[in-house]
Chain A
Amino acid sequence: MADPLIIFDCVSRYYRVGDEAVKALDKVSLRLDVGEFVSVVGPSGSGKSTFMNLCGCLDTPTSGRVMIDGVDMAGMNDDQAAELRNAKLGFVFQQFNLLPRTSALDNVALPLLYAGCNRRARHQAAAQALDQVGLGDRVKHQPSQLSGGQQQRVAIARALVNKPILLLADEPTGALDTSTGAEIMALFQDLNDSGISIILVTHEAEVAEAAKRRLAFRDGKLLHDEALKQVRINHQETRIV
């Protein structure tokens, strides 16, 4: 059995809106292992992003216990959480969130700035990460000079640059057309093959099937947790598009 990466032990996350408590996440218990590729599905407002933020050390549970790579989040302060994110996690967002008017290289190098690497090491690692996502020839381009799919790949390169053990992607294909989305999914599968664990939130059924395991949420509760027969996405075909 593989090593545990994330353990949720009866985790709840409530929001107080006025007098009402919104149960964004309600008593969720689960375990994710190193090397897994998990897709998270569910209707809007079901708690997918909340789950993701907890896995990504961006949020703390109202009750229950979250362990990430053997560390209990309860004992962590803000700075320690930032350090953990910086060292072990990579984030990919629906809106890419690239810095405007900043080259792809500098965008990708950003996490290393906070890791305290020097400029040369940063640029070297960033160039390598851009190579890894197939954008080795676009290092000087600014976000506005790249297509949506390319921008998302820059964002993925940024998530990869610090050699994370876990990649967290919240609707990474949400802003892309189907074929570009497939391209991105193929990339995720490659990355997972290389040993990086992935948690991916999505609305789309096909996208979810690219994972090895699927978590379905509804009203903050974990409804289904099932292993999938992973559907491989053919890059040869998609990369040409």
Chain B
Amino acid sequence: MNLTESVLVALTALRTNLMRSTLTMLGIIIGVAAVITMVAMGAGAQKKIDDQIAALGTNLFMIMPGYGRDHGARTSKVRLSEDDARAIKNQVPDVVAVAPTIRGMAQVVLGNLNWSTVVQGVDGDYLIARNWAIVDGREFEPREVEGGAKVVLVGATVAKELFGEAEAVGQTIRVNRIPMKVVGVLDAKGQTGFGQDQDDLIMVPIDTARTRLLGEAGGVAKAVQVIMVSVRDAWMMEDVEAQITDILRARHRLQPGQEDTFRVRNMSEMVETRAEASRVFNMLLAAVASVSLVVGGIGIMNIMLVSVTERTREIGLRRAVGAKSRDILVQFLIEAITLCTLGGIIGVLLAVGISVGAAAIAGWSFELQWQVVVLAVLFSAVIGVFFGYYPARRAARQDPIEALRYE
């Protein structure tokens, strides 16, 4: 008997017991669907994190003020200034952009529309450091930054809230009652990893923000909250970090042995750390899902054993009319493999359905990889062989006379 015939016989047998076959497959279906969904979800989360890193800007340092310590006692917060930023830019050759920024809240009004949003004071380097593009209009010109001009870049969310479909560039909006001209609209960046809308903001020249909107912070002239530093290449990060630390320590007159009064954070590293955690979590989920696949395989074995017992007479009959014991083995083995493979394929379809559905409804991100799909189907076929072999061999070894007499 050739293979096609064997497959046909197996399929016929499965079809005559449709309900049972379906229930048996369910274990594999759920297992495969779970594995693929988990892996796809993991890959989706990974991609999201990669996107976040890209959105954040590449090879980025964030320098924030820390607390100074004097003989163990905490002193007041030491401020960073625009001069610190300029010093870094002038003295470190491997930086692409150094962007001092300040940040606060502001009320934005256009006609009778009122929107409360984040205002970010930036200089010309900020968009470079953050790898942020303008979709409409233009960036600030250097003289606007220097002169503290009343110009504003609006984030995608703000643009939508205030202008809807209408043209934003060229319009005047009131920011904390001060009329400012919109010169550009920022590209949409989406949410941060913490669920914040990054596009709900406006940007103004840093001087404008300080003098007109947020007010001068005490302590140091031209104080800034954060300095962003973008480095040319990933491998330079460590070196640049050391240089920045040296420059800032010198500028803040810290003695050797004294703690830094600022913090230099590698942003990509931070995101990577979180990514690592979510990767481990996802692998754990996938492992649990694989267990359910094995449980599904045991279910197949169980049903195949029942089926062999139940069909003892059929086996006896087939032997009597000329089936060799190998024919019986192959038949039951193919039944098991077919159940598993079919279950695997249905599981894949289910996983695709779940992924697409959950992505559409809950906004989760999934990355289906065809390698995983092929592997899952192959793996379920292997499960079929593994768990189907024992029942099939049992069927093949039955004595035809005993089998025919079986009640």
Contact = CB atoms under 8 A, between A and B. Distances in A.
Interface in A95-131: 95, 97, 99-102, 106, 110-111, 113-116
Contacts of B404: 58, 93, 97
A53 B403 CA distance: 13
Contact of B322 (A53, A93, A114): A114
Max chain A Cβ within 10 angstroms of own Cβ: one of B1, B321, B323: B321
Most buried by B among A53, A93, A114: A114
Contacts of B12: 102, 106
A167 to B, nearest CB: 13
A110 B12 CA distance: 13
B323 A114 contact: yes
Nearest to B320: A91
B210 interface: no
B43 interface: no
Contacts of A56: 320
A179 B317 CA distance: 27
Contacts of B313: 95, 97
Interface residues of A, number: 28
Interface stretch (A64-72, A77-85, A204-212, A214-222): A77-85
* Interface size range of chain B in the complex: 20 to 34
Contacts of B9: 113
B320 A58 contact: yes
A110 B320 contact: no
B321 A158 contact: yes
Nearest to B5: A113
A150 interface: no
Interface string B324-368: 111100000000000000000000000000000000000000000
A110 B318 contact: yes
A115 B401 contact: no
B319 A82 contact: yes
Given A100-B16, A114-B327, A58 B1 contact: no
A103 to B, nearest CB: 10
24 contacts: A56-B320, A58-B319, A58-B400, A58-B401, A58-B404, A85-B322, A87-B322, A93-B404, A97-B314, A99-B16, A99-B317, A101-B16, A102-B12, A106-B12, A110-B317, A110-B321, A111-B321, A113-B1, A114-B1, A114-B318, A114-B322, A114-B327, A116-B1, A158-B321
